[in-house]
Amino acid sequence: MIQAIAFYVFAATAVVFALIVVAARNPIYSALSLIGCLFAVAGVFALNAAHLVAILQVLVYAGAIMVLILFVIMLLSLTPEELGRPVINWRKVLAVFLLAAAAVVLASRLGTAPQAAVPPADPSFGTIEGVGLILFTRYLLPFEMVSLLLLAAILGAAILSRRGPGDRT
């Protein structure tokens, strides 16, 4: 019962923060709301015994990547004139949220078919050792392809960001 309540609290928190991400006019508020959303999603992962994914969610996404996004937003230093007028107002956001809540309540009232019993998971499932073993055996080629793709993206960004001798503006 407590786990179900905690799930609904984390899920509602994630939805509210996601709505703020979309509706906020200031990009700093959007980025900070995205951090809150990512923490709420990490809480959902932790409730579902995916502790490694929850930790990685906080460290990688809410930590490192969001710091980079905030640096870029701050370096842009957008003025209110550049931001323009808000397109989404809070009434529209509230209406969408209430419709989504009504859809969830309606779906829960309709009920679901009985589910088959889920067999117990392997004790090494979701651990760092288990994920590393699968990642570096079964999925080694896709893992290395992603690393080469990221390396190419970093090199491309470095080449594009270089300034020539005449580009001093």
The ranges assigned to domains in the chain are 1-110, 124-162
Question: 80: burial class by Cβ within 10 Å (0-12, 13-18, 19+)?
Answer: exposed
What digits encode the pLDDT tens for the residues 18-67? 988 888 888 888 889 999 999 999 999 999 888 888 998 898 888 888 88
Taking the mean position of all CA atoms in its chain, how far away is CA 93? 20
What digits encode the pLDDT tens for the residues 81-134? 777 776 667 777 778 778 877 877 777 777 655 666 777 777 777 778 888 888
Class for domain 1-110, per CATH? mainly alpha
